Amino acid sequence: VVGQAPAGMSGDGALQLAAEDLHEALQDPLLGALGFLNEVMARYPDAISFAPGAPNPALLDELDVAAQLDRCVAHFARSRGLSARAARRMLFEYAPSRGLINDLLAEALRRDEGIDVPSDAIVVTVGAQEAMLLVVRALCRAPDDMLAVVSPCFVGIAGAARLLDVPVIAIDEGEHGVEVAAVEAACRRARAGGKRIRALYVAPDFSNPSGTVLGLDARRRLLELARREHLVLIEDCTYGFTAAPDAELPSLKALDATGHVVMLGTFAKLCLPGARVGFVVADQVVADGGGTRRLLADELATLKSVVTVNTSPIGQAVVGGMLLEAGCSLAALGRMRSRTYRHRLASLLDALDRHLLPGAAAVGVSWNRPAGGFFVRMRLPVPVDAALLERSASQFGVLWAPMSSFHVGGGGHDELRLSCSYLEPAEIEEGVGRLSRFLHATIRREDAHRDAPTGR
Amino acid sequence: VVGQAPAGMSGDGALQLAAEDLHEALQDPLLGALGFLNEVMARYPDAISFAPGAPNPALLDELDVAAQLDRCVAHFARSRGLSARAARRMLFEYAPSRGLINDLLAEALRRDEGIDVPSDAIVVTVGAQEAMLLVVRALCRAPDDMLAVVSPCFVGIAGAARLLDVPVIAIDEGEHGVEVAAVEAACRRARAGGKRIRALYVAPDFSNPSGTVLGLDARRRLLELARREHLVLIEDCTYGFTAAPDAELPSLKALDATGHVVMLGTFAKLCLPGARVGFVVADQVVADGGGTRRLLADELATLKSVVTVNTSPIGQAVVGGMLLEAGCSLAALGRMRSRTYRHRLASLLDALDRHLLPGAAAVGVSWNRPAGGFFVRMRLPVPVDAALLERSASQFGVLWAPMSSFHVGGGGHDELRLSCSYLEPAEIEEGVGRLSRFLHATIRREDAHRDAPTGR
């Protein structure tokens, strides 16, 4: 197959690129599914979309970038003994790969969770996504090292591993998140096959996409297993801030006494996607045989120097200013917004109850009731695929995400994900109304098909 | 070897990480050398440093971030028909992986170089570094696909390949940059060994570290070779803007009629390192067998979605505002600063002449005289290694970069790189004075050693 030459280019001798001659990651079905979802959203801009797991845009309107930059620059000057001009230049110059606001993050971790790490054990990354890439790259020496993920899970972790040619194995989660016995069995199976599960990616708090929360006892047992199996737990804390104040659980990192947890976080959901700032806490000591004390964070910073060099100092300073404004507490920064998200989630669950609950169980429609996070997981009695999404968008003006897009090992073919974060209550109400009409039409039609006599 | 447990952590059952059990990229000598250089600079903060290839900080002092954001937001509103609030929200929300200022970049490429690509053939990246990672990943399916680099070269390209486990072969450059015959020979050798050189990384304008410029005829011959060998040329345009207006040469991309060039650029050297914004131009059509017209840029954007998701919209809008201010011309934006760099380079060359020229040749000290870029390459009659750098810093208060740090295939052990970009003329003068005293002392001492009777 020969590519069509772009406009203005002679076909003669043109470079020919075939999809199958590019890297395998590009043939990944999960990345393809994500692309399809974005493409459908672009084609139906007027649909109400429960698809994007993005922060509520109304929460961003108040942001004064210049004021936050000034606040962080003043901190740079104070904490480093710099002149105002030298501190301001820090925004505009190259910065250390490790980051500029590491001290603020270390202080926040201490204050919020009693996690006591030196600031140089933190690397500031371009969102949690880059942190995932760096951690998987550092820990996994392909091909015998594998990354385990809880399935369904955030697509970005599997995508990063795919890009790095690191094998991924999926561990199906239960109703309350990852099941420790399943992880143990997977480790055993890997060992029997001459492989090693080097790390497990887990989001214990209102995970994306399923909204599950790992209980305190399960967290402790998972840490014990990590110790027995020499397993690194890559803990993604993205949605922890949405918990009600009386329902917060300690992070795996806070419970970890033996250095088995590498913690990832991001400011994207907490306060500002547009800064593209996340971080990784990696205070594990790396023995190099020469007596030099290096931290895993040092190694991650070295890798980062050939991925993005450093995270934009401007982006770091905007969220640094917001963190300072919140008294150097990620929890306080989160609390300013988490009430909105719990309110949206309650609106969504309430609308689902009113529009769908009567009769839902009878036709095989059900959903979970998370107490936090952005997402509700819904099961349908019909296949949830691209065709169904297309019909929902074109005929009913409502969008959602097929859960199969989040299943690394296959699965989720009768489920969808509804996100409440991006919509206003009135949109949620109208959207659930449309969803209800869509489901009534679809399931009745499927029933009709099922009941109709067929040739088979 | 067992790692020392971090403070507050019981040694019992602690996770043990050994350097050799982490990914091979971390053992890369080039990345190690870079780390050493940064570490020496940190230890001698008062030394005059010719090491950093960073833009002059005084050129950054005038920047008004809020004004540039406003300018770009007004463009978003105008060009997309958005309300002021909706346009402003673009700064703070997630953005498409492909980028937000692609239209401005496409316009600039058309205006500056007559390069006519649709804006969706451009991906905005976190500096040119991320662009390198994405391009190498898309094009190279390890282990038979290799990346060729001109050696010495920018460390970031070799580092990105190393992180991706893509084999790198070094092609030594001549006095006027890469030699086409050497590339051809390398392609032949690779083929004979059952491998394929998939792409060649080349910086034709004042390359880092050697300052060479590839002549117009060599550019044309390199393009012909690329066609014959089905080779992608990864063209790094970072330093092109420093050319004197009457000495500008067309980029490989501008000369390319057959889609063999993928062009990388960055705003980091041009105007603002702190934004961390670069771009890649990849208008090659990828045939997928299904009749869908996709561009290489689409594939790069997909890969980017699992590296950094998207480039910070705030960062994009700051440089977008600067680009708009310069009449949507990268060349005009560059011209506002290139005179400063040519002046710094002239100061450096003049100081070298005055302090070193008398007698330099006699003792085997020489340097090149580039007409642009940030760098001068100097040859010494003694080994240029970490010990020499340490002595230069500690005893003479002057820093530079050993050229061996930029040689992928080994080499450069008698050379160093001097960068003029970061220093003011008075610092250059003082720094060259120190360098002169250092060289006089060092070379005399080495001579003394050489002349002294030894037991051998």
What mean pLDDT value characterizes chain A? 93
Distance from CA of A352 to the nearest CA of B (A): 27
Percent of chain B whose predicted confidence (pLDDT) is above 90: 85
Place of tokens 């399943």: A182
Q: What DSSP line would sit under A29-56, residue for residue?
A: HHHHHHHHHHHHHHH-TTSEES---PPP
**Residue A443 pLDDT exceeds 50:** yes
Q: B297 or B142: whose pLDDT is higher?
A: B297
Q: What is the pLDDT of residue A279?
A: 98
Residue of chain A nearest B121, judged by CA positions: A6
The span from the CA of B351 to the CA of B427, in Å, is 11
Q: What is the pLDDT of residue A10?
A: 43
Q: Are B447 and B440 in contact (CB under 8 A)?
A: no
Q: Are A150 and A177 in contact (CB under 8 A)?
A: yes
**Residue A12 pLDDT exceeds 80:** no
Q: What is the pLDDT of residue B368?
A: 95
Strands B285-287 and B278-281: unpaired
Percent of chain A whose predicted confidence (pLDDT) is above 90: 86
CA distances from A390 to A48, A217, A352, B179 (A): 13, 42, 21, 54
Q: Does the beta-carbon distance from A286 to B129 stay under 8 Å? A: no
Q: What is the pLDDT of residue A453?
A: 46
Q: Are B149 and B200 in contact (CB under 8 A)?
A: yes
Q: How many CB pairs under 8 A join A and B?
A: 318
pLDDT category, A455, cuts 50, 70, 90? Answer: very low
Q: Are A313 and B132 in contact (CB under 8 A)?
A: no
Residues of B in contact with A275 (CB under 8 A): 312, 314
Tokens of A92: 């505009």
Place of tokens 């460390």: B155
Q: Does the beta-carbon distance from B309 to A129 stay under 8 Å? A: yes
pLDDT, mean of residues B194-201: 97
pLDDT, mean of residues B146-158: 96
Residue B185, number of CB atoms within 10 A of its CB: 12
Q: Strands (DSSP E) along A7-121, which ranges?
A: 17-18, 48-49
Tokens of B202: 């080349």
Residue B71, number of CB atoms within 10 A of its CB: 18
Q: Are A372 and A213 in contact (CB under 8 A)?
A: yes
Residue of chain B nearest A66, judged by CA positions: B66
What's the longest Cα–Cα distance across chain B? 83
Q: What is the pLDDT of residues A139-175, one digit of tens each?
A: 999 789 999 999 999 999 999 999 999 999 999 999 8
Distance from CA of B13 to the nearest CA of A (A): 6
Place of tokens 């994900």: A417
Q: What DSSP line would sit under A406-434, residue for residue?
A: G-TTS--TTEEEEE-TTS-HHHHHHHHHH
Q: Mutation target for B interface from A17, A37, A299: give the one with most B CBs within 10 A.
A: A17
Q: Is B291 helix (H, G, I), strand (E, B) or coil?
A: coil
**Residue B273 pLDDT exceeds 90:** yes
pLDDT category, B160, cuts 50, 70, 90? Answer: very high
Q: What is the pLDDT of residue A30?
A: 86
Count Cα neighbours of B366 within 13 Å in the Cβ-side half-sphere. Answer: 4
Q: What is the pLDDT of residue B455?
A: 39
Distance from CA of B229 to the nearest CA of A (A): 10
Residues of B in contact with A142 (CB under 8 A): 165
Q: What is the pLDDT of residue B336?
A: 86
Residue B4, number of CB atoms within 10 A of its CB: 12
pLDDT, mean of residues B210-231: 97
**Residue A376 pLDDT exceeds 80:** yes
Q: What is the pLDDT of residue B1?
A: 31
The span from the CA of B435 to the CA of B445, in Å, is 15
pLDDT category, A447, cuts 50, 70, 90? Answer: low
The span from the CA of A58 to the CA of B228, in Å, is 55
pLDDT category, A456, cuts 50, 70, 90? Answer: very low
**Residue B157 pLDDT exceeds 70:** yes
Q: Does the beta-carbon distance from B25 to A303 stay under 8 Å? A: yes
**Residue B302 pLDDT exceeds 90:** yes
pLDDT, mean of residues B127-136: 98
In chain B, the N- to C-terminal Cα span, in Å, equals 39
Q: Are B169 and B148 in contact (CB under 8 A)?
A: yes
Count Cα neighbours of B72 within 13 Å in the Cβ-side half-sphere. Answer: 27
The span from the CA of A55 to the CA of A271, in Å, is 8
The span from the CA of B408 to the CA of B153, in Å, is 8
Residues of B in contact with A140 (CB under 8 A): 23
Which has the minimum average pLDDT: A187-196, B130-139, B404-413? B404-413
Q: What is the pLDDT of residues B337-356, one digit of tens each?
A: 999 999 999 999 999 999 99
Strands A145-151 and B261-266: unpaired
Q: Is A290 helix (H, G, I), strand (E, B) or coil?
A: coil
| CA A339 remoteness from chain centre | 20
Q: What is the pLDDT of residue B30?
A: 86
pLDDT category, A293, cuts 50, 70, 90? Answer: confident
**Residue B66 pLDDT exceeds 90:** yes
pLDDT category, A11, cuts 50, 70, 90? Answer: low
The span from the CA of A64 to the CA of B92, in Å, is 11
Q: Does the beta-carbon distance from A313 to B274 stay under 8 Å? A: yes
Q: Does the beta-carbon distance from B274 to A299 stay under 8 Å? A: no
Q: Does the beta-carbon distance from B257 to A10 stay under 8 Å? A: yes
Q: What is the pLDDT of residue B37?
A: 86
Distance from CA of A371 to the nearest CA of B (A): 25
The closest of B198, B195, B188 to B284, measured between CA atoms, is: B198
Count Cα neighbours of B231 within 13 Å in the Cβ-side half-sphere. Answer: 31
Q: Are B69 and B321 in contact (CB under 8 A)?
A: yes
pLDDT, mean of residues B368-372: 95
The span from the CA of A141 to the CA of A157, in Å, is 16
pLDDT category, A33, cuts 50, 70, 90? Answer: confident
* Sequence-distant (≥ 6) Cβ neighbours of residue A90 within 8 angstroms: A73, A76, A82, A100, A313, A317, B274
Q: What is the pLDDT of residue A6?
A: 43
Strands in B261-266's sheet, in edge-to-edge order, are B122-125, B278-281, B261-266, B232-236, B196-202, B145-151, B168-172
Q: What is the pLDDT of residue B3?
A: 39
Tokens of A418: 């509804």
The closest of B241, B245, B262 to B253, measured between CA atoms, is: B262
Tokens of A65: 């970038």
Place of tokens 């310069």: B326
pLDDT category, A34, cuts 50, 70, 90? Answer: confident
Distance from CA of A433 to the nearest CA of B (A): 26
Bond from prior residue into A6 cis (ω within 30 degrees of 0): no
pLDDT category, A429, cuts 50, 70, 90? Answer: very high
The span from the CA of B453 to the CA of B456, in Å, is 8
pLDDT category, B248, cuts 50, 70, 90? Answer: very high
Beta bridge mates, A376: A418
The span from the CA of B41 to the CA of B393, in Å, is 8
Q: Are A163 and B160 in contact (CB under 8 A)?
A: no
Residues of A in contact with B283 (CB under 8 A): 6
Between B66, B159, B276, which is nearest A66 by CB?
Answer: B66
Residues of B in contact with A15 (CB under 8 A): 227, 230, 232, 258-260, 284
User: Residue A194 is inside which H or E element, if any?
Assistant: none
The closest of B350, B377, B354 to B366, measured between CA atoms, is: B377
Q: Are A25 and A31 in contact (CB under 8 A)?
A: yes
Residues of A in contact with B22 (CB under 8 A): 138-139, 141, 286, 299
Distance from CA of A347 to the nearest CA of B (A): 23
Residue B428, number of CB atoms within 10 A of its CB: 24
What values do phi and psi take at B8, rounded to 5?
80, 5
Residue of chain A nearest B88, judged by CA positions: A61
Let me know how many helices (H) and strands (E) chain A has, helices first: 15, 16
Q: Does the beta-carbon distance from B127 to A159 stay under 8 Å? A: no
Q: Are B453 and B375 in contact (CB under 8 A)?
A: no
Angle at A435 between CA A434 and CA A439, to 5 degrees: 120
What values do phi and psi take at B168, rounded to 5?
-115, 130
CA atoms A344, A346, A349, A351: torsion sign: negative
Ordered alpha helix ranges (H), B204-329 = 216-229, 252-255, 267-270, 296-304, 313-325
Q: What is the pLDDT of residue B4?
A: 41
Beta bridge mates, A174: A177
Q: What is the pLDDT of residue A445?
A: 62
pLDDT category, A65, cuts 50, 70, 90? Answer: very high
pLDDT category, B449, cuts 50, 70, 90? Answer: low
Q: Does the beta-carbon distance from B19 to A294 stay under 8 Å? A: yes
Q: Is B384 helix (H, G, I), strand (E, B) or coil?
A: coil
Tokens of B131: 């662009």
Q: Mutation target for B interface from A295, A306, A310: give the one with most B CBs within 10 A.
A: A306
Between A25, A96, A137, which is nearest B163 by CB?
Answer: A137
**Residue B376 pLDDT exceeds 70:** yes
Tokens of B116: 């006519």
Tokens of B292: 């869908």
pLDDT category, B446, cuts 50, 70, 90? Answer: low
Distance from CA of B303 to the nearest CA of A (A): 7
Residues of B in contact with A295 (CB under 8 A): 6
pLDDT category, B10, cuts 50, 70, 90? Answer: very low
